Each structure stands twice: as structure tokens, then as C-alpha cells.
Structure 1
Amino acid sequence: MLKLGLIFVLAVATCVTCDQSHNKAANIINLLSKISKTTAHKRLSLAQDRHWFPHNGSWWPLYVPEWYHPRVSQHFFDPYSFTHILHGFVFYGIFGWWLPKAAGIDKESWIWYEGAFLGLLLEFLWEVAENSELIINLYRRNSGTSELYEGDSWQNIVGDLISSTFGYYVAALSFHYQVPYFVGLWALVSEIGLILYMRDSLLLTVFPLLFPSQRLKDWQAEIVPAEGKIDKQQSQ
């Protein structure tokens, strides 16, 4: 009888232990399930909020005059296309003029083919960087024209690549025909014209990314219509 009693006690204890272990396992499973659902929900929210690179814009018209949301960077060309032409000037200076001299490249076709390709490649890499969350947020925080900037569309990226390549060949032809001052004159007129038109330019686009200025941002935002700005009342 004593042995039977011991066996009965052990059996009950085992059942209780198993039942507790089962409950603990069930609790762990439920906890993991909740964590999984919460994580999935957060990932979905991030995916909805993220500005994917790139998105689809509009095929027509080819050019739009707006420099602010919602049409800027959604078509092939806009006022910022003129700044990408200046990118081409810079790329020619690097790959078409300086690099051949520094590397002793005597190949005549370098300027027109290899140099142009390197310029196009660098412009593409800039487009990738420009459409990253980091740069998009920098534009939003520091530029008075870009509070609602959403990144570039496929169409606008293609347009920027075309504009940069065009600028490269304008510079190459200017140096080829020995009128290099034409590049400087173009750049000067372009920068002044853009500042007068939209209070932004290549210089004013790059400067706030490195040295944020609230005064500059406010000055730029003064001429941006309400549709291109954050509604301060709703955001508060």
C-alpha cells in the first residue's frame, strides 16, 4: 500500500508538472505570436511610409515649371534639370579634362566616350544617393522648397541623366572649339536665373545639406504655394 501511495503521489505530481509545463509552453507560444504580429504590423507600417526608390511618375508633359510638391521630380524635366546640366559641366572637368591629364591618357576618343560614360555613371550613383531616406529627409529639413519632397520618379531620374550628359557634351564641345568661357557664362546665367525664378540653384541645393540655415530655408519657402508646404496647423 505504501508503494502504491508513493506511485499515486508521483503520478499526480507528474501530471501537475506536465500541466504547468504545458501552460508555460502555451504562454510562450502566445507571447511569440503576439510579438510576431506586432513586428509584422510595424514592418507593414514602415513599408507604407517608406519612399521606395524609385517610383512611377508622369510621362506627360515632358517639362513642368513647378519646383515644388506635388509635380517636382515627377516628370522628365523641371527647373532642377538645369542644375543637372551643371553636374555635367563638373563631370567633364573631372573625367574629360583633369583625369586624362593626370593619368596621361592620350586616347582622343576618351573625352567623347569613356569620360562621358564615367560622368553618366557618377550621375546615376548620385541619383541613388539622392533618393535614399537620408538625403530625402535632409532636403525636407533643410530646404525651403522641399518640405514635401518624395524622391524622384523613374521618369525624372532618366531626365536627370539626360540633362547631365547634355551638360557634359556642352562642356566638351566648348573646350574642343576653344571657347571654355562659354561653360562659365552658362553656369553663371543658370544659377542667377534659377535663384530669381525659384530662390534655389545648384549652389543653394548643396549648401543647406552641409550647412543648414533656417534663414535661407524661410526665404526660399516664402514663394512656395501652400500646396508645396507642410500645413503647420495640422502638424501641431
Structure 2
Amino acid sequence: MRRWRGPAAILRHRLRYLFPGLLLLAAAARLERAMGRPAICRCGTVKLWEGDALGPENSQHIADWYTPSHIVHGLLFYAALSWLAPRLSLGARALIALGVEIAWELVENSPWVIERYRAGTIAQGYEGDSVLNSVFDMLFTLAGFALAARLPVRAAVALAVGLELLALVAIRDNLTLNVLMLLWPVQAVKEWQAG
């Protein structure tokens, strides 16, 4: 039988995962700065939204057309970790999801992957993320994870499909095509994306 926990116990439980999460975010930001990533857009401004997916300020501000893919990351990480590690607490699984997303952000902003994006996708001018954008990508992943933890499975699947379709219609790109074009570039897809 599960015993009732008061608000103080619930707060202590959540703080147990909050501080390590904040430390992971801070460490990731420091690593990205050490990799030479700019803290904010080189344009010198910070915007909530950048709508030009092929422009020089894409992946430099808080959110852009690739933000939905990070929410989908969170939805997928929740599903995978619920299956792989169902006995771990939600907080522990969220920390693992954050760690995986941080690893992806570090790899994604490596010179090799940036060059791979330029060669294999329509993002010829892509220079990688600013630290600001990268940290918010991590936070949007956690938002997707939190949504998946609260939504019925069908609603989470519908949200993931809807976000993928939204990005596909808006910019002819999404997480699915991004992974495909990074791992196995298809010329026909590249031509279609170029429109």
C-alpha cells in the first residue's frame, strides 16, 4: 500500500532531481562554450522565436522550427525509458533523458556533424546552435518528457505525429527527415526540401 506523502516530502523528492538537472545543464553550457559555440546569436540579440529555418539566425535563439523535434525527443525518451527502466522513478528517468539530450546536443554541435548537415541536407549555411538555443532545446526535451508522463499514450503519439507534420508542412523538415538525411542522405528528399 502506498503511503501518503505531504507537500514537504513531495518538494524534497522533486528537488532531489532538480539540482542534478541544473548541474547537467550548466555543465553542458560550459562544454559548448569550450567547443567555441557562441553564448547567444552572433547578431547580438535574443529572440523568443526565429521563423526563418534557412536563415543565419536559425538555431541561435530560444525557439525555432526545430523546437518541435526536441519536444518529440522528450516524448520518445519517456516511452523508451518507461519500457527499458520502468522501476526507476520519473525523476531518475527525466535525468537520463536530459543526459541523452545533452549528449546529442554536444555531438550535433561538433564540427563533424555540422559539416555533415551542410553536405547532406538543405542547411548549407548551418553553423550549429548557440548555447542559448542548445540549452532551450534541452529544456524543450524535458517539456516533451513531462507531457508524455501526463498524457494518455494515444494523446502523446498524436502529439508527436502532429508536431512532425507541422514541421514537415511549415519547413519541409522534421525529426524523421533530419535523422534520415544525417545518416543516409537521399538526393530526392534533398531536392524536395529545397522546393
The normalised TM-score by structure 1 is 0.64
- Cα separation, 2, equivalents of 1:148 and 1:118: 32
1:127 has 2:105 as partner: yes
- Cα separation, 2, equivalents of 1:185 and 1:77: 22
1:137 has 2:115 as partner: yes
Q: Which amino acid aligns with 1:160?
A: D
- Cα separation, 1, equivalents of 2:60 and 2:157: 29
- Cα separation, 1, equivalents of 2:177 and 2:84: 27
Maintained 8 Å contact 2:62/2:132: yes
Equivalent residue runs for 1:44-123 within 5 Å: 52-58=35-41, 60-95=46-81, 97-101=82-86, 105=87, 110-111=89-90, 113-123=91-101
- Cα separation, 1, equivalents of 2:158 and 2:67: 17
> Which segment is superposed worse, 61-70 or 197-206?
61-70
Residue 146 of structure 2 corresponds to which residue in structure 1? 169
> What are the ranges of 5 or more consecutive residues in structure 1 without an aligned counterpart?
1-51, 223-236
Measure how far apart 1:134 and its partner are: 1.2
Secondary structure of the equivalent of 1:184? helix
Residue 169 of structure 2 corresponds to which residue in structure 1? 196
Measure how far apart 1:56 and its partner are: 2.6
Residue 155 of structure 1 corresponds to which residue in structure 2? 132
Maintained 8 Å contact 1:76/1:159: yes
C-alpha RMSD over aligned residues: 1.3
Maintained 8 Å contact 2:38/2:130: yes
- Cα separation, 1, equivalents of 2:178 and 2:38: 22
Q: Deviations over 1:137-176 (max 9, x none)?
A: 11101111x11000110110111011100000000111xx
Maintained 8 Å contact 2:59/2:128: yes
- Cα separation, 2, equivalents of 1:71 and 1:142: 20
Measure how far apart 1:116 and its partner are: 0.5
Measure how far apart 1:133 and its partner are: 1.2
Maintained 8 Å contact 1:53/1:131: no
Q: Which amino acid aligns with 1:203?
A: T
Aligned length: 158
Q: Which amino acid aligns with 2:138?
A: L
Runs of 4+ in 1 over 4 A off after TM superposition: none
> What are the ranges of 5 or more consecutive residues in structure 2 without an aligned counterpart?
1-34
The normalised TM-score by structure 2 is 0.77
Q: Deviations over 1:6-42 (max 9, x none)?
A: xxxxxxxxxxxxxxxxxxxxxxxxxxxxxxxxxxxxx
What percentage of residue pairs aligned between the two structures are identical?
A: 33
- Cα separation, 1, equivalents of 2:189 and 2:48: 30
Equivalent residue runs for 1:211-226 within 5 Å: 211-222=184-195
Maintained 8 Å contact 2:40/2:46: no
Q: Which amino acid aligns with 1:57?
A: I
- Cα separation, 1, equivalents of 2:184 and 2:134: 26
Maintained 8 Å contact 2:148/2:156: yes
Higher relative contact order (CA 8 A, sep 6+): 2
- Cα separation, 2, equivalents of 1:215 and 1:170: 35
Name the larger-Rg structure.
1
